[in-house]
A and B are shown apart, each in its own frame.
Chain A
Amino acid sequence: MAELKDIQNEVIRQEIGEFIEREDERQKIVGLYANTSSAMHDIAANIILGEHLKVDELTRQAIEGGSDALEVMDDGLIAGMAIVGIKFRENFIFVPEVLACARAMKAGMKHIDPILSASGIEPVGKVIMGTVKGDLHDIGKNLCVMMLRGAGFEVLDLGVDTSPDDFIEAVEEHSANLVGMSALLTTTMPNMGKTIEAFIDADLRDDIKIMVGGAPVTREFADDMGADAYGANAVECVDIAKQLSGAAK
């Protein structure tokens, strides 16, 4: 089994040692870095540090130097975001720091995206995300979007104040099979249920999976409304998205 001390990159080794406390997660993360190159570790480390200029530079170099785009994405960018997500969940870092990591991720993806779309490689899954009607809280939703992208999903972000019709239209137009809804207000939580009903009325409910989240939402409420899954944070959002899209590894 891979061990922490075998990871050469000092930033990565320290980050895992200091911030990844759950044994199962530590095993999983150490595994991510066990057999990957030092160039990829370098990219991941700069994702974690939120250094978008360095990630931009290093990703460009890697691609120009002949590295495979998927490898750079998986072993560099995504591996870095995996640590970022856990640090945020455990309150080691806060929203500004995560936003900086997201910016770094974006700087790297700028070099990867054109290659992936030209080669016709399918994303892990396609997700439609939005904050429901009447609700303008979007920080949590945006972090979920970012972590989903960071895990290789293609995400269409409908933004805030999203009506049931907007969700339906997006599903039809983009033939996505996974929808994520966010709500932070008790006054807008029922709009999740209304959106699910609208999908039923539009005869689309069986074609899609629906996940929900946001601070006041509970697993129980999600079940009552007829959602397929509930996620308490951005790490869980990625896990359930993988399960729902059959991409769980």
Chain B
Amino acid sequence: MIQQIPEPMTSRQRVLAALSRQPVDRTPICNPTSVATVELMDLVDAPFPESNRNAEKMARLAATSYTELGFDTIMPVFTIIQESSALGCKMQWEGKDNWPTVKMNEPIWAEPEDISIPSDFLTHPDTQCVLDAIGILKKEFGDEVAIIGKTMGPWSLGYHCFGVEKFLLMSLDDPDKTRRCLEKMKQATIEFGRAQIEAGADAITLPDHATGDLVSGEYYDRFLKEMHTQFVEDIPIPIILHICGRTVDRMDYIAQTGMAAFHYDSRNKPVESMETVTQRISLVGNINNPETLYAKGPEEVAAEVFENLDAGVQLVGPECAIPLQTPIENLKVIPEAVRRWHANRSEN
């Protein structure tokens, strides 16, 4: 259980403490993936797709998670495709009401030898704008709020650059070749991660979609555990691993990596998940997006917040990138419910 300490902390202190399982004045609210919604875009005039490509708009939209919603973190990378774009994938930028994506049916690589990280990888407009946005946010909010970056893991990059099905078939047909691909792609993960540290990030999300919806838990052990363990040294900042979907069958492996935190999905129960990771890694999550935040009301949102707090989850927030049509009112319930829970506890 988290011990409470009396002195008030800044959001930044609170988040960093929770990421290392230190005492906090109250549980921080965090979404390490994306809080962008259409309502927030309108509010600060920073719509998709521009706010995914223009640093100033990106920073402005990201800041709403602190200024409007009352979360303790700011995370400017709303997509999972910034580095894929810089690697040369074909892109579909979409409009205001949808996320951009990579055209995975037009893969750019097929063999380990094809993989090369372009020399302009970090100065490409779609990676540069992330670095610039982090710089802007650091300057404006750096003392109070935790600024979180995002660098995609090699398994997810594999989906984008090889096509999901080809990549997954390769993993079965030729595990060694797959490992060689991961080894080469991880260079992008590390470079982009380090550049964000330099730009001012306090922590970094590392999505790597080896989810139970697609692959077995044993797969995580076989292909990723060691590499993720190494990332702790290669990217020297608290790392928040993100894998959505069912993951409780691999949380024990994930807990062994030494990463700071794991951002987990609502399809895993808070108590069961906490029991599996046994204080070796902090958990972040796991309020359901498509049903609860998107379509239900304040009471249901609060109930899921309480369930996480009761279980001792260290950082509370949505399970993944929130649906773009999520009502602001539901998001504001999260900090409010956290405060209510702590107030009740100190009364009793």
Q: Which residues of A contact B (CB under 8 A)?
A: 50, 91, 94-97, 99-100, 103, 134, 136, 138-139, 142, 159-161, 185-188, 215-216
Contact = CB atoms under 8 A, between A and B. Distances in A.
A120 B98 CA distance: 44
B101 interface: yes
Contact of A97 (B94, B97, B99, B172): B172
Contact of A99 (B169, B212, B289, B324): B169
8 contacts: A94-B214, A95-B214, A97-B172, A136-B92, A139-B214, A161-B92, A185-B98, A187-B325
Contact of B289 (A103, A138, A186): A186
B165 interface: yes
A195 to B, nearest CB: 16
B325 A159 contact: no
B227 to A, nearest CB: 18
Contact of B101 (A136, A215, A216): A136
Contact of A187 (B169, B212, B214, B323): B323
Nearest to A136: B101
B92 A186 contact: no
A160 B98 contact: no
B62 to A, nearest CB: 19
A96 B98 contact: no
B195 interface: no
A202 B70 CA distance: 48
A96 B169 contact: yes
B325 A186 contact: yes
B219 A94 contact: yes
B165 to A, nearest CB: 6
Contact of A142 (B92, B165, B173): B165
A187 B324 contact: yes
A127 to B, nearest CB: 20
Nearest to B166: A99
B276 interface: no
Nearest to B321: A185
> For this complex, into which size category does the number of interface residues on chain B fall?
20 to 34
B17 interface: no
B290 interface: yes
B104 A95 contact: no
A188 B95 CA distance: 12
A139 B166 CA distance: 11
Contacts of B105: 138, 159-160
The 3 A-B pairs at the shortest CB distance, nearest first, are namely A216-B290, A186-B323, A96-B168
A142 B168 CA distance: 13
Nearest to B215: A94
Nearest to A140: B213
B324 to A, nearest CB: 5
B190 interface: no
B92 A187 contact: no
B16 interface: no
A100 B169 CA distance: 7
B97 A187 contact: yes
Interface string B213-229: 11110010000000000
B296 to A, nearest CB: 12
A159 B294 CA distance: 27
A99 B171 CA distance: 11
A187 B295 CA distance: 12
Given A94-B219, A139-B165, A186-B323, A134 B98 contact: yes
B328 interface: no
Interface in B220-269: none
Contacts of B215: 94-96
Contacts of B197: none
Nearest to B164: A139
B216 A94 contact: yes
Contact of A186 (B102, B171, B214, B294): B294
A187 B165 contact: no
Nearest to A95: B214
A100 B97 contact: no
Nearest to B293: A186
A185 B326 CA distance: 12
Contacts of A161: 92
Nearest to B104: A136
A171 to B, nearest CB: 22
A209 B92 CA distance: 31
A99 B165 contact: yes
